[in-house]
A and B are shown apart, each in its own frame.
Chain A
Amino acid sequence: MRRVGVLAGLLVVTLAFGYPFWWLVSASLKDRAHVFDNALLPRPFSPQNYVEVWQAVPLTTWIGNSVAIGLAAAASATAASALVAFGFAMFRFPGRDALFGVVLATMMLPAAVTMVPVYLEWHALGLATTQVPLWAQNLFGSAFYIFLLRQFFLGLPREVFDAAKVDGAGAWRLFTGMALPLARPGLIVVFVFELKAAWTDLVKPLIYLRETELYTVPRGLKAVLDRFGEGGEEQWELVLAASTIATVPMILLFLVAQRYFVRGTVTQHVEQ
């Protein structure tokens, strides 16, 4: 009897969480007259929505921008955060723990507090309307990832490092030759987390990107929503096709790197 209850519950969960995806994909393949019919299958079937939206807006450019920015953001966040995390995990020196406290404290700082002054900094540098602010801050590491990678480094067997030190290995060799290969799962967590964050972010593109050619996928999608959605030309099938195009890469990323996402999410908890 309990078993039946659990199965019924799981069925409801599958429908509730799966149906909006189904609706999105299905409606993106319907013609304009049928977008809102809530029919499960698109009839008539109109894949030309995808062609149309691809012709109406520079989707290829936006995807290229998002890929480039995402990779730059993820690579710099991973490299810099690993470096700093290794510093916190491996070396003992006065002030270290106090500094780490500051790292943790910055995680609690509302982004709104630095939004305006950081924009003015990029403006002063003449980079406020470029894509640079979307990833360059990651070159200095990011608090949550430093925290997460420090956990990974602390989990590595210390004796191995001590033995290598006795053999005369310098700090850099310990880092690149031993710590990085051993912490690879952690590095992948950081990389995929930041890739996802960069791909989905709307705030920074809204602040920094002016020209359509520089847009990322979410910024472009917002423009599509403004133009073809409510108050616009009411061509929702195009909005839905673009939304699907924006979503699919993230779904694929998750299916490929699923266990890293789950691990990263669970590691967040240790933060307290």
Chain B
Amino acid sequence: MLAIAAALFAIGLFGVMARRGVLFQLLSLEIMLSGPALAFVAAGSARGDPQGQGMFILILVLAAAEVAIGLSLYLRLSRIADVTDSDSISDLQG
């Protein structure tokens, strides 16, 4: 079970590093977050402890907030500067 969680995390990390499209990187971040979530739930169910699912809910909230902020930043960038991949925002300045 933990091997599956680690592999999910690794696949997500690969996606974040290999892709350049911001949307694809956000999708990969979702995969990355679901690896630890699976690890928490599996550990909680192995011990019959509800704290694993509690941590899963906190991860869920974090993922929702991150997706909301990330997607609205992406919308803003694509609307103002016609940016779709993260290479072209390497020269950000205030």
Physical interaction between A and B: no
